[in-house]
Amino acid sequence: MKQWNTWSRRALIASLAIALAPATVLAEAAPQVKFQTSMGDFVVEVYPDKAPKTVDNFLQYVKAKQYDGTIFHRVINNFMVQGGGYTTSMSEKPTRPPVPLEAQNGLKNDVGTIAMARTSDPHSATAQFFVNVKNNDFLNAKGPADGYTVFGKVTSGMDVIHKIKLVPTGPGDVPQTQIVINSATLVK
């Protein structure tokens, strides 16, 4: 009986320790999306706690296979690589309504982060995204109606992004050889 009591106390203490552990330890891992491209694969991790509407929007597009067969249509070395909106025939894909700007979330447009592309209207982001290939401080929010919403970062395959940023481009910063997103898949 004494052994049982000792074991029971240890089990109770262990259970309490788990129950009282900081939320960050028990929180689910951030969702990850794997992009398979004609130049190699990369994975991004997204942060629903920082940009909930943007991440939900992005993951809906991933699950709907919106990005499959699209291209990186704008590539500027020492700035960013942008994709997710045009097919290989340079036709713009239809999108859902835009999401509100969530640029004041504490995340910065630093190397390797993924952010939403938009027009001059701060609340116009739909499906297009870009990966920063340098620290782009001028894209960070300075007020409630400016900046570009960062919602994640590349966790593997940044070498692929660096290969993409170096491709020769033509008018409109369009790569001379298409860089196709074959698929974008939620991996966790």
C-alpha angle 132-123-180 in degrees, rounded to nearest 5: 40
Residue showing tokens 């004609």: 38
Can you read off the two tokens belonging to residue 185?
């898949």
- Quote the pLDDT of residue 6: 53
Percent of the chain with pLDDT over 90: 84
Residue showing tokens 């620290």: 135
CATH topology of domain 27-186: Cyclophilin (2.40.100)
Q: pLDDT of 87-127, one tens digit each?
A: 999 999 999 999 999 999 999 999 999 999 999 999 999 99
Given pLDDT bands bounded at 50, 70 and 90, which one contains residue 69? very high
pTM of the model as a whole = 0.85
- Average of per-residue pLDDT across 65-84: 98
Residue ranges of domains in the chain: 27-186
DSSP string, the chain: -HHHHHHHHHHHHHHHHHHTS-HHHHSPPPPEEEEEETTEEEEEEE-TTT-HHHHHHHHHHHHTTTTTTEEEEEEETTTEEEEEEEETTSPBPP--PPBPP---SS----TTEEEE---SSTT-B-S-EEEESS--GGGS-SSTT-S--EEEEEEE-HHHHHHHHTS-B-GGG-BSS--EEEEEEE--
Q: For residue 6, how far is the Cα from the chain centroid?
A: 49
Q: pLDDT of 46-66, one tens digit each?
A: 999 999 999 999 999 999 999
Q: For residue 89, how far is the Cα from the chain centroid?
A: 25
- Average of per-residue pLDDT across 128-134: 98
On the 0-12 / 13-18 / 19+ scale of CB atoms within 10 A, 1 is exposed
